[in-house]
Amino acid sequence: MTKVTLSGRPPEQDVPGAPAPIDPATGMHRDYWVLSEEDRAKGFIRPVRFKYVHKSCGAVTRMAPILAETYARDPTFYGATVCVGCKKQLPVAELLWVGTQDEAGSCGGRTDLVFQ
């Protein structure tokens, strides 16, 4: 699979796991790795979900559509993501998809969804 930057710009860095540093004002990286359009077009192995809730603080964060599609294609693509309430990067196991008990990054126990 091919990763590209969300912005389309060349990466500024690739450590730890993002192509640009964290903006201290938001806790978000200034740019993110995503799967290429070609890879995302191969199909998703879990639903495309846009909103997750941080179990500890209850804040709901909305993902950009391309990040949500990347996650749906490869639930292990991101090991950490931001909480807009805490304004910091958190392990995905601390986040649940809104309206579910599925941890972000988990496969939700489904085995019927497979890569094409």
What element of type H or E holds 80? strand 80-83
The verdict on 29 binding Zn ion (CB under 5 A) reads no
Count of residues of this chain found to bind Zn ion when the rule CB under 5 A is applied: 6
Tell me the one-letter amino acid at 113: L
**CB nearer to Zn ion: pick between 69 and 102:** 102
Stretch that binds Zn ion, among 7-15, 26-34, 73-81, 84-92 (CB under 5 A): 84-92
- Tokens matching residue 15: 């450590």
Helical spans, DSSP H, in 1-116: 37-40, 65-73
- Choose, by CB under 5 A, the member of 86, 96, 100, 113 that binds Zn ion: 86
